[in-house]
Structure 1
Amino acid sequence: MPDLAYLNGDIMPIEKATVPIEDRGYQFGDGVYEYIASYAGRLFMLGAHLDRLERSMGGLDFPPIPRSRIKAAIVDLFERAGYDRAGIYIQITRGVAPRNHAFDPTLSPQVVMTIRQINALPENLHRDGITAITVRDIRWGRCDIKTIQLLANSLAKQKALSEGHSDAIFISDQNVVREGTSSNLFIVKGGQLITHPLTPNILPGITRMAIIDICRETDLKIDESFFTTDALYHADEVFLTGTVTEVMPVTQIDGRCIGDGNVGPLTRKLYDGLRQKALAGA
């Protein structure tokens, strides 16, 4: 089965799908997106992804699209592709109109989806961890809205890769640790997990939500509070969370070893817990 695309109600091979040049997503980054993964032939946390998609659309004053229509399109595309381990990318833009900063509120949104098989990350990444750098956070002020405006994220990721690292971690001007380029961040100190609270400065990650749920179900202590680079460097463990990232240990940041430089026990426990939760179809 070829990789498939959904374009405003029609399903076709990805290479056949095109959108007009005056789509506002292309010209202004005026769009939102979601990325949903499946495990063993079942979509993971679909309802939470749809909740966030609706919040993102509302945050940009998009006209509402019936949730049932979007969900049915996702399920149809997923079933047609037939992948056990798939990633579905959903992008909704404000629509197509002659280029103008102001927009017509009656525009019809463009809905695009693609589905591809997810290839497993190299085993050594979860076994041995990754290295990262910190960068100043120059993103716009509403990171809680999952928009397609990802240039700052892309530049930070490329900087990390060009310097021989796997990812970059955004830091505010006050040295508050935010998140990774496409993932949330947790630290462990003295057996307690700490992660940035939900504010406009970070994305409300779905995997972040799952990890917090696992912590509460297993009586692991977790604190949603601000922390600085000093706490980051002196943490016992650090890990990133995301739909594809899952739970990714970070063993070195800015050339400094985290803890003893090895993947920590709580990181391993939460990675195993997330996989179990996903395979159970939660």
Structure 2
Amino acid sequence: MPELAYVNGTITPIEEARVPIDDRGYQFGDAVYEYIASYTGRLFAIEEHLDRLENSLRALAYPPIPREEVRDAIMSIFQKAGIEQAGIYLQISRGVAPRNHAYSRQLQPQIIITVRQLPEIPQAHVTQGIHAITVPDIRWGRCDIKTVQLLPNTLAKQQAIEAGAQDAIFISPDGIVREATSANLFIRSGDHLLTHPLTPNILPGITRAVLIGICQELGIDVREQFFDRDALLAADEVFLTGTVTEVLSVCRVDDRVIADGQPGARAKKLRGMFEARAGKHP
């Protein structure tokens, strides 16, 4: 099936899509985005993604964009692409104008969408877990807004890859564990799970919220509280959650093996529950 792009209402093959050189998303990182997964031909948690998108648009004082317009654009390109397990990238920039830090309130937001095959998590990462490194958190102060300003994330991810790891975990200046480069983070300590509270310092992850809901249904104690690197390294389990990540165990952090070095039973169970909730398998 074709991989397609949508640019302000026009759908083309991705390689033929063009955006203006003066788009503020390109020149200033003045854009927000969402990434939505589909499983067996069904978009997962689309309304939750649209809720977060609207929060991001409001936080940056973008002009109102009708929710139905965005949903219809997503559905039109998704249906035309016909990719059952797809990754839908949606980006909305403030608009197009000659380069200037200040902007006109009259700018027309630009809507760009791409549909590609959803990346598969390597099976070895699922069965054996991954290795992550810790890095100082140098991101801006509003990580709760899902903007395209991801340079610190990409640099941290590249640092991890070059160190032979698969991801990086951000640590605040005062030693608090925050999240990974594109995923939220949980640890298991005894019978309960810990994850960073929702503050401007982390993204309010959709998968994070789904997983907390599953835990509540199962009677698993989840505590949204701060914890430090020592607690991370001493955890019985560490795992990441995200749209592409789903639920993925971290079995080594820096040079420290987590517990017995294998994906834990809690993460395995939650991954299975998430896959069922998302309808990943027919």
Scaled by the length of structure 2, what TM-score is found? 0.98
**CA displacement, residues 146-176 of structure 1 (integer Å, 9 cap, x when unaligned):** 0000000000000000010000000001110
**1:118 Cα shift?**
1.5
The residue type paired with residue 10 of structure 2 is: D
Aligned counterpart, 1:238: 238
Aligned counterpart, 2:43: 43
**1:144 Cα shift?**
0.1
CA distance in 2, matches of 1:280, 1:191: 28
**1:191 Cα shift?**
1.6
Aligned counterpart, 1:216: 216
Aligned counterpart, 2:272: 272
Aligned counterpart, 2:121: 121
**1:106 Cα shift?**
1.0
Matched, 1:225 2:231: no
Aligned counterpart, 1:143: 143
**CA displacement, residues 209-237 of structure 1 (integer Å, 9 cap, x when unaligned):** 11001000111110000000010000000
The secondary structure found in structure 2 opposite 1:230 is helix
The secondary structure found in structure 2 opposite 1:70 is helix
Aligned counterpart, 1:262: 262
The secondary structure found in structure 1 opposite 2:262 is coil
In structure 1, stretches of 5+ residues that fail to align are: none
**1:120 Cα shift?**
2.0
CA distance in 2, matches of 1:278, 1:89: 18
The residue type paired with residue 191 of structure 2 is: G
**CA displacement, residues 6-40 of structure 1 (integer Å, 9 cap, x when unaligned):** 00011111111111111100100000000000011
The residue type paired with residue 220 of structure 1 is: I
Write out aligned runs for 1:161-200 (5 A).
161-200=161-200
**CA displacement, residues 98-156 of structure 1 (integer Å, 9 cap, x when unaligned):** 11100001100000000001142211111100000000000000000000000000000
Aligned counterpart, 2:87: 87
Aligned counterpart, 1:61: 61
Aligned counterpart, 1:102: 102
CA distance in 1, matches of 2:270, 2:20: 44
**CA displacement, residues 43-81 of structure 1 (integer Å, 9 cap, x when unaligned):** 000000000000001111100100000001111111111
The secondary structure found in structure 1 opposite 2:138 is coil
CA distance in 1, matches of 2:131, 2:175: 19
Identity %: 59
Aligned counterpart, 1:7: 7
CA distance in 2, matches of 1:121, 1:173: 31
The residue type paired with residue 4 of structure 2 is: L
The alignment of Structure 1 onto Structure 2 pairs a total of residues equal to: 281
The residue type paired with residue 152 of structure 1 is: P
Matched, 1:112 2:112: yes
The residue type paired with residue 104 of structure 1 is: S
**CA displacement, residues 157-205 of structure 1 (integer Å, 9 cap, x when unaligned):** 0000001000000000111000000000000010211000000000000
Aligned counterpart, 2:153: 153
CA distance in 2, matches of 1:129, 1:191: 21
**1:2 Cα shift?**
1.9
CA distance in 1, matches of 2:119, 2:46: 20
**1:244 Cα shift?**
0.6
Aligned counterpart, 1:205: 205
Query: In the superposition, relative to structure 1, how do residues 118 and 106 fare at CA in structure 2: closer, same or farther (>3 Å)?
Result: same
CA distance in 1, matches of 2:142, 2:14: 31
Aligned counterpart, 2:132: 132
**1:280 Cα shift?**
7.7
Instruction: Please identify runs of 4+ aligned residues in structure 1 that moved more than 3 A.
Output: none
The secondary structure found in structure 1 opposite 2:219 is coil
CA RMSD of aligned residues (A): 1.0
The residue type paired with residue 53 of structure 1 is: L
Scaled by the length of structure 1, what TM-score is found? 0.98
CA distance in 2, matches of 1:32, 1:160: 25
